[in-house]
Amino acid sequence: STTANLFTTAALLALSAAVSEEASKQGRVSSLLQIHIPHNYTKNNGYRHKEALFGIPPYGGSIRQNVYYADSDLCEANVDTRKGFPERAKKNGTMEPWPSPYILMVDRGYCTFVAKVRNAQRSGASGVIVADNNCVCGDTDCTMTPGLECELNEPIMADDGSGSDISIPSFLMHKQDADLVKGLLKSNQPVQMEMAWALPSPDNHVEYEIWTTPSTWFGKNFLKQFKTAALALGGHASFTPYMFIYDGQTAGCRGFDGTNQCYSLCTNNGRYCAQDPE
């Protein structure tokens, strides 16, 4: 049934995320993102990236293909495969489509990661690299995009709840490195990259985190639905819940006399808010 499939998918995603998180904590690299062409851009340990929590990576294998930059956020389902970089030969004034097989680089923003990867998958891509457009605060090597504020942490490529039809893998590449690759492609230099995955080696117990919001219907409903999956995992898994909250003091919800200026939106005299007061 649909409900059963939802529980199964949620459980698998939780376990997959837990394996990746545990690997990171123990210093094990579960995946690799590498540039092979041009050769002078190859790094010993590859390039920094985040793995998507959806799609089906070929664990124990790799994808090594030419990269094409869509020059788009790929939020529209109707993907024009005759655009982007490097430029290809033209026929009747229009460039040839991206030649298969290929890895597609797309810009971050304006829609979910799942939507981008789904559109890339439909266009024929074997894998997707999402080019971040924002810097992590304190990263002095990263050049800020005008009009954007830095982020405290690199975003997670989470499933928006509709990613069960995604079969190709995807990474989020840090901005400074993605800018480098985009620069090469836009100057019409061929770029060949590799996306590789180690075989996961979890023990018989995994620990994972669940991040949600305390006030939205979606957050509350997910926890109710996920209960069955969490109980089904039994002693093989345990999780720690976390809630996204907002700083009410910064938003002006905490008055000078310590009173709550935003009422039911916040608690602790306006210090912590369940929804964005702004």
What does the pLDDT read at residue 118? 97
pLDDT confidence tier of residue 29, bands split at 50, 70 and 90: low
Mean pLDDT is lowest, of 8-12, 28-32, 216-220, for 8-12
Higher pLDDT, 15 or 162: 162
Strands (E), 116-236: 127-131, 170-173, 192-197, 206-212
Q: How far, in Å, CA of 257 to CA of 179, rounded?
A: 48
**What is the DSSP pairing of strand 237-243 with strand 206-212?**
parallel
Higher pLDDT, 114 or 161: 114
Percent of the chain with pLDDT over 70: 87
Q: What is the pLDDT of residues 205-222, one digit of tens each?
A: 888 888 887 777 777 788
What does the pLDDT read at residue 96? 96
Query: How many beta carbons lie within 10 A of that of residue 257, not counting itself?
Result: 7
What does the pLDDT read at residue 276? 58
Q: Are 182 and 175 in contact (CB under 8 A)?
A: no
What does the pLDDT read at residue 4? 44
Domain range for 183 is: 31-197
Query: Residue 138 is part of a domain; what is its CATH number?
Result: 3.50.30.30
pLDDT confidence tier of residue 202, bands split at 50, 70 and 90: low
Radius of gyration of the chain (CA): 21
Higher pLDDT, 263 or 83: 83
What does the pLDDT read at residue 10? 47
Cβ-Cβ contacts under 8 Å for 33 (sequence gap 6 or more): 46, 47, 48, 49, 129, 171, 173, 193, 194, 195
Inside any domain, residue 3:
no
Asked whether the bond before 101 is cis by omega within 30 degrees of 0, the reply is yes
Inside any domain, residue 223:
no
Higher pLDDT, 47 or 29: 47
Find the length of the chain.
278
Q: How far, in Å, CA of 21 to CA of 209, rounded?
A: 9
The chain-wide mean pLDDT, for the chain, equals 85
Mean pLDDT is lowest, of 95-104, 108-117, 235-244, 254-263, for 254-263
Residue environment code for 159-195, b if the CB has 16+ CB neighbours within 10 A, otherwise e: beeebeebebbbbbbbbbbbbbbbebbeeeeebbbbb
Average of pLDDT values for 239-261?
A: 81
Inside any domain, residue 133:
yes
Q: Are 236 and 204 in contact (CB under 8 A)?
A: yes
Q: Are 210 and 243 in contact (CB under 8 A)?
A: no
Higher pLDDT, 128 or 15: 128
Inside any domain, residue 53:
yes
Inside any domain, residue 254:
no
pTM above threshold 0.75:
no
Q: What is the pLDDT of residues 43-59, one digit of tens each?
A: 999 999 999 999 999 99
What does the pLDDT read at residue 23? 46
pLDDT confidence tier of residue 27, bands split at 50, 70 and 90: very low
Helix (H, G, I), strand (E, B) or coil at 209: strand
Inside any domain, residue 277:
no
pLDDT over 80 (residue 233): yes
Inside any domain, residue 243:
no
What does the pLDDT read at residue 107? 96
Inside any domain, residue 150:
yes
